[in-house]
Amino acid sequence: MTMTMAMFARSSRSSARALLRCQAPSVRRLAGNTRCLSALTSGLNSGSSSSSTTSQPWRVIDSQTRIRGALSFSSQAGTETAGDADASAEETALTSKQLEEARKRYRFTRQDFQPLQTKPLHFDMVFDMTESKVKVTLQTTIKHDGAQPLSELKLNAKELQVLSVEQLDKFTPLGGGNDFVAHVQSFGEPRALQYEVDTVDHFLVIKLDKPVQSGEEFVIRTVSVATPTENILEGLYFDYTPEGAPKTIITQCQQHGFQRIVPCIDTMDAKAYYTTTIVAGTRYTNI
């Protein structure tokens, strides 16, 4: 049974920043020094002065430092001395650094992303499903926006078996349009490319024998095999399955799960349109 879905919609990655904020661990679940995140943010956002924050409860950062609201205090009683003031300033700097590290760990901002040098425009994907392996033939239309010619393309690829990498020389460029059916139908015969699989940093490194010039579109075809997992909730993984039914396979692409399904530019700003075809046995009845 072949089921085809033509999906001309933007990737859901645009909601990634909001999703991160909504699902970030609460202050009670954070470990160690990152407990300062909610306490500091609360005090800073409320505009509290030193007099108002002193009524707030203590929050422990480490064995030597405690904070109230947005301010840090010495745990020693008595009149504050110059040494106490220096220690307080040092503690404030420490908590600011911890706050920045915590924010960096759990949040992304626009400043975290540089303009893409190679931008995906369209994915044409064919999924050949079995209960243990999923073979994906992917044709990715990419535009090169870098200033220099492109002779090597690095795609994120994690825990994938790459079977082949090819380039299509003959095709009708999209040119900013969205006639994806005609675009895919124009694809000519592919030619093989040399490639390497980096299993340490999880990249598929493709050698382009004809450098792509700035502003040009090109099409890369990859054939790879993904293995759904039981305990990694990214990419393709098995979910609860009713008795007597084939294994239920779930997809999870955020934040970096798409590279567990196909070789791709797997960043939250790499948005593209896509067309998907799913080939599966008749035991599968739902998508």
Q: What is the pLDDT along the chain (287 residues), one digit of tens a residue?
A: 444 444 433 343 433 333 333 333 333 443 443 333 333 333 333 344 444 444 445 555 455 444 444 443 334 444 545 555 666 676 676 677 777 777 667 666 777 777 889 999 999 999 998 888 999 999 999 999 999 999 999 999 999 999 999 999 999 999 999 999 999 999 999 999 999 999 999 999 999 999 999 999 999 999 999 999 888 888 988 887 788 887 888 888 888 889 999 999 998 889 999 999 999 888 877 66
Q: 101 — phi, psi (to 5°)?
A: -65, -40
**pLDDT for res 269:** 85
Domain residue limits, the chain: 2-13+115-279, 25-106
Beta-carbon contacts of residue 84 (< 8 Å; ≥ 6 apart) = 74, 76
Helix 36-46 / helix 82-106 crossing angle, nearest 10 deg = 100
**pLDDT for res 33:** 38
Torsion of CA 278, 279, 280, 282, to 10 degrees: 110
**pLDDT for res 252:** 87
Distance CA 206, CA 98 (A): 39
Distance CA 149, CA 133 (A): 37
Pick the CATH number of 2-13+115-279 from 3.80.10.10, 1.20.5.440, 2.60.40.1730, 3.40.50.300: 2.60.40.1730
- Hey, what are 250's tokens? 């779930």
